[in-house]
Structures are given as structure tokens and as C-alpha cells.
Structure 1
Amino acid sequence: MLQVDFAQLHAWLVMFLWPFTRLTAFLAAAPVLGHNSVPRQVKVAFAFMLCLVIAPTLPPLPAVPVLSWAGLGIMVEQVLVGVAMGLSLRVMLTAVQAAGEYIGLQMGLAFATFFSPDTGANTMILSRLFYMITLLMFLAVNGHLVVIDTLASSFQTLPIGLGGLNAGAFEMLVRYGGTIFVSGLLLALPLVAALLIINLTLGILNRSAPQLTVFSVGFPTSLTVGIFLLMVLMTDFGRFLQGLFGDGLAFLRALVETMAPV
């Protein structure tokens, strides 16, 4: 007859609970694997399966009771690690959304918005289009597999029960948030500059010929030129995403290594 004592049951619980906490925190913050359109039951089941695969490869776990202040501190530590890794991926993909916002404002599509379940607010149609294309490209180049591999290897770089994290890693994560504006503006700059010149030209024409109003001439012109420039931009969109994905995944690995205490 199989008998399980309290020590063995506690060892199994520790082997499962703390890795599961890091995985679920990552899925809650990550934009791809933790998309809001994915049911929560699927996310929990996916984290559970990952935990079953990763648990046998874990380094020795600390002999700390789960129901203790030290166990609570370890759980909070795993949540911080998972959320930080997920936010780094979200920053990488939000840069494309920012580019869609900039282009949409210049094209006169600020009114073309709808509710986005990702952000819980109204999002421009171009921003949503860029975001969906980026997600599909990320899955096409197996970026999600690289992320899962980095997440699994993080338990070797950041073993459970470190006793503290390097605060410099979180400062690096905050500074990486500037990628949203830098990369987004670099992607949108050709269209924004061209449309800005067109708007300035139409403003001068409107002053010289008042019958050339914004609604009769300016809006159709900006929209037509913007669509044409979007077609040109899409020819180089893949190269931009390649660099964005490479920098984002490299930052994710650097973040994991930096979080290790000095």
C-alpha cells in the first residue's frame, strides 16, 4: 500500500507551487501566451503542463515551509520575476501599437477606434492592425518557443529561493520602456513626415483659397496618400520586426541574468 507522509507531500507541493507561481505571473503579463482572448482555464492548464515538464529539471529547492513568512517571500519573488519577464515582451510589441497611433493621427483616422480587450480601452484601427500582424509574425518565426526556452532556463539562472533580486534589473526594465516611443516613432517617421508636409501644404492652400476646406480636400488627400505610403511601408515591415524581435529577446535574456543578485 502506498503511503505518503507530510514531508513527502510538502516536497511535492514545493516542487510544484513556486515554479507554478512564476509561470502564471509570466502568462498574466505576457502579450502572446497570455492574450486576453485566451480563456483563463487554458492559461492555467498551460502553466500546469509547463510546470510538470520543468519541475524535474529544477535545481535543489530551499528547505522552507510553504506556510511561513519565508515561503511567502519566495512566492512574491517568483511573481516579480514572472511579471518582469512578461512586461519586457509587452514593451516589445507595444512599440508597434505606438507606431499605429502616430500614423493614424496624421492620416485623420483618430475617430476610427474600437474597444481592445488587450488594453481595456479604445484603440485605433491601424494600431490594432499592426499589432495583429506583429503577433502573427512573432508566432511564424517561432518567437514563442524562444520565450518558453528562456522561461525554462530562467530557473537555472534565477533558482528558487535566491533571497533577493538585483534592483538594477528593474531600473533596466523601466529604461527599456523608452523602446515604445523610440521604435514606434522610427517605424512611423516616414509616413508622419510625409503627411505632415501634406498638411502644411494644404494649410497654405486653405489660406490662399478658402474654398479648399479641410473636409473637401484635406481629409481625402491625407487618407489616400497615407494608404499608398502604408503599402510602401509594408514592404519593409518584416525587416523592422526582425530587428525588434531580436532586440526584445536579447533584452529578455539580459534581464534574467541581471536580476541575479550580485
Structure 2
Amino acid sequence: MIAFGWDQLQLWVSALFWPFCRLLAFFMSDPILGHKNVSSQVKVGLSLLLAFLLAPNLPPMPDIPLISWAGLGVVVEQLLIGMSLGMVMRITLAVVEMAGEICGMQMGLAFASFFSADTGTNSQVLSRFLSLVTILMFLALGGHLMVLELLASTFSRLPVGQFGFNPEAWNQLARHGGSIFLSGLLLALPMVGALLIINLAMGILNRVAPQLTVFSVGFPATLFVGMLLLTVLVGDLGQFLAGLLYQALHFMQALIEGLPG
């Protein structure tokens, strides 16, 4: 007869519960694998399934009671690790959406917006288009598999219950957000520069010939030139997005290595 007590049961539950917290925090904060259109039940079920598959290969769990202040600290630790990795992907997708917002405003498409369930706010059509292209590019390049592999490797590089983070890692995360937002501005810069020249020309023409209906001419002109530039931009968009996604994956790996205190 096999007998087990509370200590053995707690060991089995902790081997599954604490990895589950890290995985669930990542799926809740990641904008691609944890998209708002994916139900919470699916995210919880996927996190539980991955935790069950990873549990036999994980390092030994700390001898900490689940129902204790130390156990609560371990849960907070796992949530911070998962959310920090998911935040990297969220910043990357936000950069592309920001570039679409800027280009759409310059093209005169600011009114063409609709409610986006994943952000909870109104988003422009061009921003939504670039966001969908980025998600499809991420899946086509196998980025979801790379992210899951990185996430599984965190349990060996960041063991459960280490209770210590390097403050410089959070500083690197903030700096990465600034540098990657610069990439978004560089993506929108060609269209913004060309459309700004058109708007300046229309403003000068309006001052020279006020009797002309410049506004009725300027809007179709900026929209036509914007669509033309967007057609040219799409040719190099795949290479730019691939570099942006690989940059995010490399930073995730660097963040995993820099988080231990």
C-alpha cells in the first residue's frame, strides 16, 4: 500500500503550481500568444499543460510551504519573471502600432478607427493592419516556438525561489523600450517626412491663392501619396519586422541572463 502525507502532497503541488504561475503571467501579458481574443480558460489550460510537461525536467523546488508568507513571495517572484518577459513582446508590438498611428494621422486616416478589444481603446485602421502583419510574421518565423523555448529555459537559469533580482535588469528593460520605440519612429519617418512636405506645400499654396479650395485638394493628395508610399514600404516591411522580432528575442535572452541577483 502506497501512503503519502501532507509533505509529499505539498511537494507535488508546488512542483506544478509555481511554474504554472510563471507561465500564466507570461501568457496574460504577452500580446501575441496571450491575445485578448483568446479566452482566459485557454490561457489557463495552456499554462497548466506546459507546467505539467515541464515539471519532470525542472530543478528541485525549494522546501517552502505553499501557504506561508515565503510561499507568497515565491508566487510574486514567478509573476514578475513571467510579466517581464511578456512585456518585452508587448513593447515590440506597441512600436509597430505606434508607427501605424503616426502614419495614419499624417495620411488623414485619423477618423478611420474602430474599437480594439486587445487594447480596450480605439485604434486606427493602418495601426491595426501593421499589428496583424507583425503577428503573422512572428508566427511565420516560428517566433512562438522560440519564445516557448526561452520560457522553458528560464527555470534552469532562474530557479524557483531564488529571491533576488538584479536591479540593473529592470533598467535595461526600460532602456530597451526607448531604443525599440526609436525603431518605430524610423519606420514611420519616410512617410511622415514626405507627407509633411506635402502639407507644407498645401499651406503655402493656401496663403498664395486663398480662393482655391486647397483643403479639398490636400486631403486626396496626402491620402494618395500615403497609399503610394505604403505600397513601397510594404516591400521592405518583412525584413524590418523580422529584425525587430529577432531583436526582441535576443533581448529576452539577455534579460533572462541578467535577472539573477
Q: What is the deviation of 1:4?
A: 3.2
The letter for the 1-side match of 2:159 is: P
Aligned residue in 2 for 1:109: 109
With normalisation by structure 1, the TM-score equals 0.97
Distance 1:113 1:211 in 2: 32
After superposition, the CA RMSD in angstroms is 1.1
> Deviations 1:71-130 (Å, cap 9, x if unpaired)?
111110000000000001111111110110110111011111111112111111110100
Secondary structure of 1:33's aligned partner: coil
| 1:1-262 equivalence runs, <5 A | 1-261=1-261
Q: What is the deviation of 1:180?
A: 4.7
Q: What is the deviation of 1:181?
A: 2.7
Secondary structure of 1:115's aligned partner: strand
Secondary structure of 2:123's aligned partner: strand
Distance 1:4 1:138 in 2: 46
Q: What is the deviation of 1:245?
A: 1.0
Unaligned runs of at least 5 residues, structure 1: none
The letter for the 2-side match of 1:194 is: A
Q: Percent identity, aligned pairs only? A: 54
Distance 1:117 1:153 in 2: 32
Distance 1:202 1:218 in 2: 6
Distance 1:90 1:75 in 2: 22
Distance 1:198 1:231 in 2: 18
The letter for the 2-side match of 1:210 is: P
Distance 1:113 1:179 in 2: 28
Does the Cα contact within 8 Å between 2:137 and 2:242 map onto a contact in 1?
no
Distance 1:68 1:112 in 2: 52
Distance 1:8 1:99 in 2: 53
Does the Cα contact within 8 Å between 1:95 and 1:179 map onto a contact in 2?
no
Does the Cα contact within 8 Å between 1:94 and 1:180 map onto a contact in 2?
no
Distance 2:11 2:120 in 1: 40
The letter for the 2-side match of 1:237 is: L
Q: Which runs of 4+ in 1 moved over 4 A?
A: none
Distance 1:212 1:240 in 2: 41
The letter for the 2-side match of 1:233 is: L
Paired positions, count: 261
Does the Cα contact within 8 Å between 2:157 and 2:257 map onto a contact in 1?
yes
Unaligned runs of at least 5 residues, structure 2: none
Secondary structure of 2:134's aligned partner: helix
Distance 2:2 2:233 in 1: 65
With normalisation by structure 2, the TM-score equals 0.97
Q: What is the deviation of 1:2?
A: 4.4
Distance 1:65 1:26 in 2: 24
Distance 1:114 1:252 in 2: 32
Secondary structure of 1:34's aligned partner: coil
Secondary structure of 1:177's aligned partner: helix
Q: What is the deviation of 1:8?
A: 1.3
Distance 1:2 1:35 in 2: 44
